[in-house]
Every structure is written in C-alpha cells, then in structure tokens.
Amino acid sequence: MKAGLYPAGAFQSFRELPGDDFKTLLHKVHAPLLILNGELDRPNRKQEQEFAAVAKEAQIKIINGAGHACAIEKPGAFNQALFAFAKQIFN
C-alpha cells in the first residue's frame, strides 16, 4: 500500500463486472483454478463454494487474518499460496 494504488482500473471493473455470470464463465474453464480469498472478505467468501462446485478443477485457499486486499495485507501468505498452487500444476 505504501507504493500506492491505481484506482482507475478498479473503478472500470466495478462498472463492467455486475453484468457477468461468473458461474457460467467458470464452468467453461478447463484448467486448474485457485479461488484465493482473505478470511475476513465476507462478500467474496459467500459464493466461493458455489464457484468451486461449477469449476472443473477448483481449489479454495483462505489467507488467515486478511480481508479483501489479501495480496496487500498478507503478501507472504498470498505468494506462498500461489507458489504452492503453481507447484502442484507444473510438477
């Protein structure tokens, strides 16, 4: 967060995302998928099980003690989760 955030991209996605049907999109993914949420990110955690169920090869990983910005709040745990997932796929 010390490096700053660029909100313009986020605001554009907020305008465009509400019309997307993510369950339909996830059903079309034929690759391993990681659903990575912060433990305290209640809005996104509400549907993570449903999203994982429609995806072909989904895993859910929770970053303890983090909220929505888990990559910023807990970068070590976030990166570790990504590396572990990548190692499963590429080994």
Q: Under a CB-based contact definition with an 8 Å cutoff, are residues 40 and 63 in contact?
A: no
Q: How far is CA 32 from the centre of its chain?
A: 13
Q: Delimit the domains of the chain by residue range.
A: 31-90
Which pLDDT belongs to residue 83?
95
* Ranges in the chain, pLDDT < 50: 1
